[in-house]
Amino acid sequence: MNLWHIFQFFLMNVFSVWTHNLKFQVVSEKKTLVIFTALLILISCSPVRKVAKTYVEDTPGLTLLVLKPAFVYKTSLKDYEIEGADTLSESELDSVLYYNSLFLKEIDDSVFIERHVRGYVQELRKLGFEVYRDQEFDTFMSLGKEGYIINLAQISLEEYVYAYVTDAMIMQEVVSVSGIDLNALNIDTWFEFNSVNLEESESKVFYVSDYIFDDLNGRFIAPLFSADVKYEFTIDTIKIDTLYSYMWEMGAIYAGYTNDYFLNKHIRKLLPETGQQDMYFHYDRKENRLRLAGDFERFIEIKDNN
């Protein structure tokens, strides 16, 4: 049994005793404070957090070259709105859907991509990476430093309608509302990571998906002593400038995912036998805090099955 397993066993027992005592209300505030303090000390001293702390404090030490795509793939999923859609060829239908779209035809690809990449690059630099853009390719290659070429290989947009549903408990009954259609956009992005000047070459492909839809503000109205419940709402439709700002924010978030990939790789390399292989950590730069990442707070690796 290594030190990490001993730590886990001790932590579980301390927590079990604490919750048991809370249940029977026999723990004083002073004892509770002592237990919490002990827990915090133990957690802060865990091997994983020690290794993660060295990664954060020393900065990643990697040089990155970020490449951007030439255009955005755009698809409308509103073929049901097109009369006679089943009589059109695939290319004809795509053209009709594009010119009947609310957003796709209004989006400037160059602005859309540049906002996304700038948000991505700016956050990477704040996280401590030395970052170069595609126009600095020759400079990056001449450095001879350990690093990665990160290619935003593809960005795809899908325009569709999101069926909004909500419910609430009113007067001991569940009241549901449906049939409210919101305009929505799904954004899929593929990243390619290729190592440069590292002892062990590495090539990875990652996928991530996000969405944005009309902002709905609503509330249930239930007059006193009346069973006539109403749902009042207003809809703020997506604006193109809002979408551009959203892409900047997504770029910053994906920079965090990029940093998390290198962070977790660092942890697994230095602590291969800690039993943490299935745990994935996220570093919050703004709060300077390490925590477990949620299932949807990371890149999805696309693995080659061949």
Domain ranges for the chain: 46-72+107-301
Residue 10 has pLDDT above 50, yes or no: no
Q: How far apart are CA 149 and CA 130, in angstroms?
A: 12
Residue 1: the pLDDT is: 45
HSE toward the beta carbon, residue 99, CA cutoff 13 A: 5
Q: What is the mean pLDDT of residues 254-274?
A: 87
Q: Has residue 262 got a pLDDT over 70?
A: yes
Which long-range contacts (C-beta less than 8 Å, at least 24 apart) are formed by 291-300? 293/260, 297/257, 298/257, 298/260, 298/261, 299/191, 299/206, 299/207, 299/208, 299/254, 299/257, 299/258, 299/261, 300/206, 300/207, 300/208
Convert the pLDDT of each residue in 164-176 to its tens digit: 999 888 777 788 8
The predicted pLDDT at position 276 comes to: 58
What is the Cα–Cα distance from 130 to 109, expressed in whole angstroms? 26
